C-alpha cells in the first residue's frame, strides 16, 4: 500500500506511543520461584525506567551489562582501561572485563615494541583534513594513501600485489600510508601492521566517515596520491592489475622519473 501522506498516519501513533506495560512489575518476581527470559539489550533500560523499575536486580544487571559493553568496546579498539574503571563495573562482568583488558594490554605492548615505527598516532584533526595533515608531516616527499580493511579481499590483494613496487621504490621520496577504521578487528589489524611495511593509522568511525571520499561515495580499497607539496594529484577506487600499473605510473610521474 502506498501512502501519499505518511506523516499524517504516523503522527497519532507517535503521540500515543508509550512503554508502559501493566505486567512489567512481574519481572521483579524472578527471584521468587518465578523465571523470565530477557535478552540483555540496552533499549530495555528505557522500558524498565518508563515502568518505574529503575531499581532492583533486573535493572542493575541490565544497566551493568550496558556499561560493561561500552567499556569492552573501548578495550576492543585497543584502549586499555585503568583498573579503577574495571573496578566500577557490575561485579558480574568484572572478571571477563579484567581478563579482556589484561590480554589487550599485553597485545598493545607487543605491538608497540615490534611495530613502533609503523603504528602511528592519528592527528587530532577533523577527518576531512587528516590526509593533508599527514602528508604535511613528510615535506618534500610524495605520500600514497591506501584506505583498507582487514575484511576486504580486494584491499588485501592490492596490498600484496603492491609489495614489488614498494621494493622497487625503496629509498625514494615516497611514503606509503595505510588507514583503516574500527571495523577491522584489533587482533587482525595488529598482525597486518607487523607484516605490511609502511605507516599505519587506525581511525575512529567518525574520522573515517569524514575522509575526503569521492563524490559518488567511493569504497575500499580507496587510493590517494599526494605530491611533494602536499597536494592530492590522483585518486582511485578499487583494485585490479591495470590499477596496479597505473599506481606505479602515477607515483613515478609525481617523483619526476
Q: What is the pLDDT of residue 48?
A: 77
Domains of the chain with CATH codes: 6-113 (no CATH), 127-255 (3.40.30.10)
What are the DSSP E strand ranges found in the chain?
142-147, 174-180, 199-202, 222-226, 232-237
Give pTM, 2 decimals: 0.63
Q: What is the pLDDT of residues 174-204, one digit of tens each?
A: 999 999 998 998 878 888 888 899 999 999 8
Q: Show the cell assigned to 47.
A: 522500558
Q: Alpha carbon of 44 to those of 26, 38, 40, 47, 227: distances in Å?
A: 15, 9, 8, 5, 52
In the predicted structure, residue 226 carries a pLDDT above the cut 60: yes
| Mode of pairing for the β-strands spanning 174-180 and 142-147 | parallel
In the predicted structure, residue 33 carries a pLDDT above the cut 80: no
Q: What is the pLDDT of residue 39?
A: 63
φ/ψ of 61, rounded to 5, equals: -70, -45
Rounded to whole angstroms, how far apart are CA atoms 50 and 44? 10
φ/ψ of 199, rounded to 5, equals: -100, 135
Instruction: Return the minimum-mean-pLDDT range out of 35-44, 73-82, 104-113, 233-242.
Output: 35-44
**3-state SS class at 186:** helix
**3-state SS class at 235:** strand
Q: What is the pLDDT of residues 79-123, one digit of tens each?
A: 889 999 999 999 989 999 999 899 888 877 877 776 667 778 899
Mean pLDDT of 229-243: 94
Cβ-Cβ contacts under 8 Å for 65 (sequence gap 6 or more): 40, 42, 90, 93
Amino acid at each position: 500500500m502506498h501512502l501519499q501522506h505518511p506523516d499524517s498516519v504516523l503522527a497519532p501513533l507517535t503521540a500515543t506511543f508509550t512503554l508502559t506495560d501493566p505486567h512489567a512489575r512481574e519481572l521483579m518476581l524472578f527471584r521468587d520461584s518465578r523465571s523470565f527470559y530477557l535478552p540483555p539489550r540496552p533499549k530495555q533500560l528505557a522500558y524498565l525506567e518508563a515502568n518505574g523499575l529503575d531499581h532492583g536486580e533486573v535493572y542493575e544487571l541490565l544497566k551493568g551489562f550496558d556499561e560493561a559493553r561500552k567499556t569492552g568496546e573501548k578495550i576492543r579498539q585497543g584502549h586499555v582501561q585503568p583498573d579503577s574503571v574495571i573496578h566500577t563495573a557490575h561485579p558480574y562482568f568484572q572478571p571477563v572485563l579484567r581478563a579482556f583488558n589484561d590480554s589487550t594490554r599485553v597485545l598493545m605492548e607487543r605491538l608497540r615494541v615490534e611495530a613502533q615505527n609503523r603504528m602511528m598516532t592519528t592527528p587530532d584533526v577533523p577527518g576531512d583534513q587528516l590526509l593533508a595533515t599527514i602528508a604535511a608531516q613528510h615535506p618534500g616527499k610524495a605520500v600514497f594513501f591506501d584506505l583498507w580493511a582487514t575484511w576486504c579481499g580486494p584491499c588485501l590483494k592490492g596490498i600484496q600485489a603492491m609489495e614489488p613496487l614498494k621494493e622497487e621504490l625503496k629509498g625514494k621520496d615516497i611514503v606509503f600510508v595505510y588507514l583503516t577504521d574500527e571495523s577491522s578487528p584489533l587482533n587482525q589489524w595488529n598482525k597486518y601492521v607487523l607484516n605490511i611495511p609502511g605507516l599505519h593509522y587506525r581511525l575512529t568511525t567518525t574520522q573515517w566517515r569524514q575522509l575526503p571520499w569521492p563524490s559518488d561515495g567511493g569504497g575500499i580499497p580507496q587510493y590517494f596520491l599526494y605530491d611533494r607539496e602536499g597536494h592530492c594529484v590522483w585518486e582511485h577506487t578499487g583494485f585490479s592489475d591495470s590499477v596496479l600499473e597505473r599506481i606505479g605510473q602515477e607515483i613515478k610521474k609525481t617523483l619526476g622519473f
